[in-house]
Amino acid sequence: MKALLKTLALGLLASIVALTIALSLPLPEPPLAFTSGPIALTGVTIIDVEQGEALANQTVVMRDGFIERVGPADQVRVLADVRAVDARGQYLIPGLWDMHTHSIKRSPQFHHALYIAHGVTGVRDMSGCLSDDDAYWACPEDRRRWTNQAVLGERVSPRYVLQSSYQTNGGNEVPEGFADFFRLREPADADELVAFYRAQGVDFIKTYSELTSPQYSWIAQSAREQGLAIAGHRPLRVSLAEALAAGQRSFEHGRLFLFECFDGAEAFRNAPDPIAAYDATLRQRLVDERNDEVCAAQMQSMARAGAWWVPTLTTLKMPVTARTSGAESDPRLVTVPWLRRKVMWGPDARHAAREPLLSDGRDIPAELFDRASRDVALAHAAGVRVLAGTDTTDTLVFTGSSLHDELQMMVDAGLAPIEALRSATSHAAEFVGVQSVHGSIAPGKVADLVLLDGDPLADIANTRRIAGVFFGGRYYDDGGLLALQEFVGEQAGGLRANLRLLWDLLASPLMRPQLVD
C-alpha cells in the first residue's frame, strides 16, 4: 500500500512539474515565411478601388516597405536588384482591413497567421483592459508592440489600427477590485475613466449595450473634452438621434436599425431592463412592426452626421448557421482552439440553434438576418458609410476567412463588389485617417497588398483566391501562406497551447465571471 501511495505521489508530482513547465515555457511563434527585398509584380491587373476599375498589364515595384512605382508594364523598367514576379492573369488589391475584431494574449498563436494568410493586413480591435495588463485580453501596449515588430519583420501580425478601451457597460462589466470610477456613478467618474484610457494611449472609448442615457452622456462629453472618440454599440437605452448628437463615430453590429425602426422602439428603450425584454416575442416584433418611413429618416440622419456603420452580418447569421450541419463540419474549425470550440462556441451555437420556429414555420433569426442585410443596402444607398468587420473571435466567426464571408454577404445584400471591397480598403483607411499611405495602390503607399487568381470586381468570391500576400513589401507566396495556416492548425489542436489558453482564462479577473455564467 505504501508503495502504491508513493507511486501515486510521484506521478502527481511529475504531472505538476510537467504542467508547470508547459505553462512557463513560451509558446511557438508563427514562422516568418516571407521573402524580403525589392520586388516587382509584372503584367498584373490592378484593382483601383478609388476609381472602381481594373487596370490591366501593370507593373508594381515595391522597395523598403512601400510602393515605389506603378505603371503600364511597357513603361516601368525593373532594375537588376529587383526580383521580378510574373503576375500575368492575376489581380492586385490593397490589403484588407477587418474593422471589428477582438484580440487576446494568445493571438500570436491563434489569430495573427490566419489574418495574414487570408489577406487581412490590418484590424481595428474592439477590446481593451481595465488595468495596465490582463492575463487573457490583449491590451493596447500588446497590440502596439505586435504591430511595431511586424513592421520590422520580427513577427507575423496584422497592423492594429486605432486602440480601444475595454467595453464601457455601466458598471456590470467591472469585477471587484477595480477602481470605482469604472462603474460610472457620477459625471466625475467619466472624467477619470476617460483619463485612465487616455493614459493607456487608446483612441476611442468603446460604448456597450447597457449604459444608461446619463452615463452615455457623461462619457461622450468627457471623451470630447479629452480628445478621444466614442465608438461601439448604441446603448439600448439611448436613441440613435441622441448617439448621433453626441458624436458617436461608429456603430457596431447588424441590429442597429432593427432596434431603431420598429413601432415599439421608444417603449423598448424605456423598459426597466431592455436586455431581459429582448425575448423571442420582441425579436418577432422587430420584423413585424417595421416602420420603413421612420427607418429611412434614421438612415438619412446618420448619413448627414457622417457616422459609420460596421454591420458584422457574420455574427447576426450565426443562429441561422447554427441550425445547419455545416456548423459542425466547417473545415475551418481545425484552426479554432479546441478549448474555445468545446467550452465557448459549442454551447453558444447549440443554444442559438434551439430557438423554435413559430407555429406557422417562420424562422425569426433568419428573418432578422435578412432584414439586417437589406438594411445594409438601404443605409448605403442613403449615404451611410459602411465598414467591413467580423467580430472575431465570436462564435462561428473564423479569423481572417470570415472577412471574405462578410464581403460576400454585403454583395448578396445589394452592394456592388467594388463597394464591398472599399469597405475593407479605402474606406477603412479613411475612417482611421491614414488614406494617404493605406487603402489603395499608388506610389508612396505602404506595400500591404493581396495578389488574387480571379477578378473581385466580376465576383467578390475571388477575394478568397489568394496567390500571395505582401505585408510591408515582404512577400508570402503560396507556400508561405500554407505554412501560416498549418502553424495555427497545430496550435489550435495542441495540448500546450490549449492549456495556456485555459490558464489565461482562469487567471483573468475579467473572464472568470463570464466562465461562471
Secondary structure in 3-state letters for 33-61: CCECCCEEEEEEEEEECCCCEEEEEEEEE
Of the candidates 503, 514, 504, the residue with the CA atom closest to the CA atom of residue 175: 514
How many beta carbons lie within 10 A of that of residue 267, not counting itself?
11
Give the pLDDT score at 13: 45
CA-CA-CA-CA dihedral for 65, 68, 72, 77, to nearest 10: -110
* DSSP-derived secondary structure for 95-107: PEEEEEE--BTTH
Give the pLDDT score at 189: 98
Residue 61 grid coordinates? 515595384
Mean pLDDT of 10-18: 45
Instruction: Give dist(CA 163, CA 155) in Å, integer.
Output: 20
4 has a pLDDT exceeding 70 = no
Instruction: Give dist(CA 237, CA 310) in Å, integer.
Output: 20
Residue 145 grid coordinates? 508592440
Residue 100 is which amino acid?
H
Beta-carbon contacts of 78 under 8 Å, excluding residues fewer than 6 positions away, are: 40, 42, 59, 61, 84
Instruction: Give dist(CA 389, CA 391) in Å, integer.
Output: 6
Could you list the beta-strand ranges (E) of 253-367: 308-310
Give the pLDDT score at 14: 43
Lookup result for grid cell 511597357: 74
Instruction: Give dist(CA 47, CA 470) in Å, integer.
Output: 15
Cα torsion 118, 164, 420, 54: sign: negative
Give the pLDDT score at 11: 46
Give the pLDDT score at 17: 42
Give the pLDDT score at 336: 97
20 has a pLDDT exceeding 60 = no
Residue 377 grid coordinates? 443596402
Residues forming a β-bridge with 53? 48
Mean pLDDT of 175-203: 97
Mean pLDDT of 182-197: 98
Cα torsion 297, 49, 374, 388: sign: negative
Residue 67 grid coordinates? 510602393
Give the pLDDT score at 7: 52
516 has a pLDDT exceeding 60 = no
15 has a pLDDT exceeding 50 = no
How many beta carbons lie within 10 A of that of residue 80, not counting itself?
4
How many beta carbons lie within 10 A of that of residue 42, not counting itself?
17
Phi/psi of residue 41, each to 5°? -95, 120
Beta-carbon contacts of 507 under 8 Å, excluding residues fewer than 6 positions away, are: 135, 136
pLDDT tens, position by position, 235-291: 999 999 999 999 999 999 999 999 999 999 999 999 999 999 999 899 999 999 999
Could you list the beta-strand ranges (E) of 258-339: 308-310
Residue 221 grid coordinates? 462629453
Residues of the chain with pLDDT > 90, as a percent, come to: 90
355 has a pLDDT exceeding 90 = no
- How remote is the C-alpha of 202 from its chain's centroid? 17
18 has a pLDDT exceeding 50 = no
Residue 148 grid coordinates? 511595431
Residue 402 grid coordinates? 470570415
- Domains annotated on the chain, with CATH: 39-94+443-470 (2.30.40.10), 96-434+486-491 (3.20.20.140)
Instruction: Give dist(CA 93, CA 441) in Å, integer.
Output: 7
* Contact present, 400 and 115 (Cβ < 8 Å): yes
3-state SS, residue 450:
strand
23 has a pLDDT exceeding 80 = no
Phi/psi of residue 218, each to 5°? -60, -45
Instruction: Give dist(CA 232, CA 126) in Å, integer.
Output: 8
Give the pLDDT score at 6: 52
3-state SS, residue 468:
strand
Instruction: Give dist(CA 85, CA 239) in Å, integer.
Output: 53
The runs of H, that is alpha helices, within 323-444 are: 326-329, 338-339, 346-353, 364-382, 401-413, 417-423, 426-432
Instruction: Give dist(CA 91, CA 55) in Å, integer.
Output: 9
Give the pLDDT score at 364: 93
pLDDT tens, position by position, 411-424: 999 999 999 999 99
Of the candidates 123, 133, 129, the residue with the CA atom closest to the CA atom of residue 100: 123
